Copies of this chain bind each other. A is one copy, B any other.
């Protein structure tokens, strides 16, 4: 190949990253060459000519973001991070998909420099990109001259898999509605999925689908035409009112003898085919080679330009710190989502005798929003039921980018994934709410939040059969167990107003794991012993025994008062029990053994758990359980509770029965 012309060098750059991807996958004997090879021209063009980044400062807050929603094309991303100088070495590339390497099977945020999002579960990357675009827009409007710091673009690459997943529709619909012109979605349209041709499962017209969602749509007919890709990206960047979809028609596994078929989707190329592909590219170098002219190209176009960009940004920062010192201080403190320095250390409230924890949560939220500088959130169309609204604050929209109340629409899954994007971006503490039963809809995004160590906050109200009339489809049973089973998620089920305030504070104190607040629809009476200090231990003695201790009752949320009731009834029969409130099992688990044993007081055989939800998981703490392991029923709450006999009398009965057994 005769180089010299810029276009030729860029073609060689494409061939280089393609060859690196082939080598990585070949060495690992594992990976997905199909999309990596097909998408190489568009991603190489993006890195070389459009992404405003600085590889030496991968965390710089004003940089463009890139989300590889099609996370299985990770080899391509790593190859580009290598040539772009993000610190990934050839040795790292050779360790692709190996234990503890910097190049795992799917991109992992916080693990590899330059990876802006953890992706792999399809569709979620698009929603994360939408979240990042929202964060950029909002931060630009939130702070005076904020656009100087936060106005950047978000690029995302997706394939057919992402677009078949329903969450993509939720995300693109909202992005179009919000007119996120800073969002550019590149769609690798190769017409092939794992099982075969796309037309086995889809006849969709992507162009009209996106136009109907208020997007601009551009099309590149030949995915190898880097000039056309460049031009499309240039056009997309100029969009004023809409996010842009660029449909790039590619050939899956380009260069392979199996190109254009599903056989190249998830299987490494054979040695022979690898050689063949490189021949097709005209790439005549040993494995894992980056030709010197390509190193030079990326040095000049990405690394040096990046350094200049960052220098300029530093100047802007300096200027900003002088002109807006106060805001600068806030931004510096909060850009990595740590808001601990803003948080109060105590909760000064006069507990109301009786209030639902959803209302208490709304109050706590509205107290905190005036203390914290960067709260942003809302609900999936249940703001008035889950109490997510920030009073006297405006609503985020394309006309009011400084608004902090977010209407996610009836899109629970996208809400959670978008919040992940907002947190990945940095600078805002986002939260989202819906009914607990619909935690099911957004669970896959909670998992990604946890895996990405993001301090997401979920507000789940209507937390038991006490939902009442809406019936079993709306009454959570197993959802609480589901949430508790996710690694590294703190799940709070506060029992009164004070526990709710404390749960909020603790959730905001986290900077490395998500928290869920499980809230009641019905009013709950205040506890005498509830206070912030107690909640920080996850569990505490809500009521001490009044005589020789016979049994320990462990309860959460709405059931603590029921337990206190049972305790009183048992006292009349000289059976003395202790009531332990455990607003957060995970936090309680993290206390030292002595604390836990002091609180629980009695051995396993003399403990009962009481929670008006599935008993699944409770056997870890108590031999006996009072819970509900079937679906609920439609009726006024008091009648449903009666039907399931969820009363203090039954708890009394169960304890007496257990005492006889022991």
Contact = CB atoms under 8 A, between A and B. Distances in A.
Interface size class on chain A is 35 or more
Interface in A599-650: 614, 616-617, 619-621, 629-631, 633-636, 639-640, 643
Contacts of A118: 473
Interface in A383-401: 383-385, 395, 397
Given A99-B643, A395-B200, A166 B413 contact: yes
Contacts of A104: 471-472, 633-634
Given A208-B208, A395-B200, A484-B616, A410 B214 contact: no
A201 interface: yes
Interface in A202-252: 202-209, 211-214
A584 interface: no
A170 B165 contact: yes
B164 A173 contact: yes
Nearest to A482: B482
Given A168-B166, A482-B482, A636 B468 contact: no
A409 interface: yes
A414 B169 CA distance: 13
Residue in A199, A409, A414 with the greatest tally of chain B CB atoms within 10 Å = A409
A94 interface: no
A477 interface: yes
A487 interface: yes
A174 B201 contact: yes
A208 to B, nearest CB: 4
Contact of A410 (B161, B412, B444, B488): B161
B208 A385 contact: no
B485 A195 contact: no
B202 A409 contact: yes
Interface string A466-496: 0011111110011001101111100000000
B486 A478 contact: yes
B195 A204 contact: no
A170 B166 contact: yes
Given A195-B384, A381-B194, A120 B470 contact: yes
A296 interface: no
Interface stretch (A38-46, A277-285, A314-322, A435-443): A435-443
Given A440-B443, A477-B487, 16 more contacts: A97-B634, A98-B634, A99-B634, A104-B471, A106-B473, A122-B410, A164-B170, A164-B411, A166-B414, A194-B384, A194-B385, A195-B382, A212-B212, A478-B485, A487-B630, A617-B617
15 contacts: A98-B634, A99-B635, A118-B473, A164-B411, A165-B412, A166-B169, A174-B201, A193-B381, A201-B410, A201-B411, A209-B212, A448-B473, A451-B631, A488-B630, A619-B620
